[in-house]
Amino acid sequence: MAKGQGPLRTCVVTGAAGFVGSHLCERLLSLEHTVVGVDNFFSGHPENLNPFAAHPRFFFHERSVTEPGLLPGLRAQHGALFAVFHLAAIVSVPYSLEHPAETFQVNTQATLRLLEEAEALGVRTFVFAGSAAEYGDRDRMPLSETDANEDTRWLSPYGESKYWATMAVASRRGNLCGVSLRCFNIYGPRQDPFSPYSGVISRFVDMAVAQRPLTIFGDGLQTRDFVYVTDVVDAYCLAGLRDEENEATRLSGVFNVGSGRATSIVDLARLICRLTQQPESITFGPERPGDIRHSRADIEAITRVLHWMPRIGLEDGLARTIQWMRGSG
Ligand code: UD2
């Protein structure tokens, strides 16, 4: 929706201080909506809120999504809620392996309760941050939405917890439209490079900018589908702000969000060296346990139903990420 078009709405964003959540808040504010952000800073960073914290239409609550009555409380303070964008989660795969019960409590049970609260309050759209991890390890590419099912062998509680939440969201019928966006490897500005489990692009860009060698785990021939953060935000907005009068486009469902292209990790490393004008200084270490070999999204469904297309190619997105990392470093 272009700026100034359509009714202005109040949107809740959980995980507002996260990498993707903060970009989504900024976009919704730029579209002139009111944004109620929620985050408990478990993995989000307060500084991610800085660019818009003082915006007159942004309201922030330091709360956990596991608190019962969260949405009714926000409704009482901020009035009718049009959309809930639910991005808050346990996002670390290794953490989920160490804390499976907490992962299901946060990623699955809290989502089910938020869904029920949203429905009772007459919220129109509920958009959930699904994940490519819901597919487990599969040989056949590209991955289409039906490739995750009850027979999937998930590699982590993270993947399984996201799958069951996706199923609950996407099977919603009635007034509440539920959409799960199964995002592939998201990258871009504000992605934290400093955790050992950070995304490969944020780590490689950080290493290249600091003129340190890039470390590849394994032979580097594993492939991923990289999608730029503002393209992901486009998908959230298309899913969450759909014209409420048009029932045909308001069906619940699950959609992959990726570029539809596979890039090997070694090609990625070389490209980042070239774009940062560094010599190709690449080292190879042992394969990371639990790594999947290949991942690529089939994006036919989201293209057809939501008319979404990735707009930022890998080279362009990397250049923007490098520029941000240089500026913030
Ligand atoms: C992504 C998601 C994860 C989960 C998973 C499901 C991110 C950041 N993580 O994990 O949350 O959804 O998909 O499959 O999107 N690598 C290196 N050197 C490094 C860092 C990584 O070679 O310094 C390799 C790593 O071994 C892997 C590839 O790069 O083969 C991508 O790693 P990643 O951690 O960015 O993402 P992935 O796909 O494992």
| Torsional sign, CA 282, 286, 289, 290 | positive
User: How far is the C-alpha of 200 from the C-alpha of 25, rounded, in Å?
Assistant: 24
- Report the b/e string of 221-256 with b at 16+ CB within 10 A: ebbbbbbbbbbbbbbbbbbbbbebeeeeebebbbbb
Q: Summarize pLDDT for 155-180 with one digit per residue, the tens.
A: 999 999 999 999 999 999 888 999 99
Centre of ligand 1 to C-alpha 183, Å, is 13
Mutate to test the pocket of ligand 1, among 137, 185, 194, 273 (most ligand atoms within 8 A of CB): 185
158 is catalytic: yes
pLDDT at 173: 86
Segments in the chain below pLDDT 70:
1-7, 196, 243-250, 329
39 in Cβ contact with 18 (< 8 Å): yes
User: Where does ligand 1 bind, in terms of residues with CB under 6 Å?
Assistant: 93, 131-133, 185-186, 199-200, 203, 215-217, 222, 224, 265, 288, 291-292
State which ligand 1 atom lies nearest to the alpha carbon of 287: 26
pLDDT at 291: 85
Mutate to test the pocket of ligand 1, among 288, 296, 318 (most ligand atoms within 8 A of CB): 288
**Nearest protein CA to atom 12 of ligand 1, as residue:** 133
**Nearest protein CA to atom 1 of ligand 1, as residue:** 185
70 in Cβ contact with 112 (< 8 Å): no
Centre of ligand 1 to C-alpha 3, Å, is 35
User: How far is the C-alpha of 246 from the C-alpha of 101, rounded, in Å?
Assistant: 40
State which fold the 10-184+227-258+303-310 domain adopts.
Rossmann fold (3.40.50)
State which ligand 1 atom lies nearest to the alpha carbon of 200: 35
State which ligand 1 atom lies nearest to the alpha carbon of 216: 22
Catalytic residue among 95, 135, 158, 228: 158
Helical H segments across 34-131, by residue range: 70-78, 93-98, 100-104, 110-120
User: How far is the C-alpha of 28 from the C-alpha of 13, rounded, in Å?
Assistant: 10
From the DSSP assignment, how many helices (H) and strands (E) are in the chain?
11, 13
Centre of ligand 1 to C-alpha 57, Å, is 35
- pTM for this prediction: 0.96
60 in Cβ contact with 37 (< 8 Å): yes
318 in Cβ contact with 185 (< 8 Å): no
* Residues sharing a CB contact under 8 Å with residue 197, sequence separation 6 or more, in sequence order: 92, 93, 94, 95
Centre of ligand 1 to C-alpha 248, Å, is 36
User: How far is the C-alpha of 259 from the C-alpha of 116, rounded, in Å?
Assistant: 32
Centre of ligand 1 to C-alpha 297, Å, is 15
Per DSSP, what are the bridge partners of residue 84? Answer: 12, 126
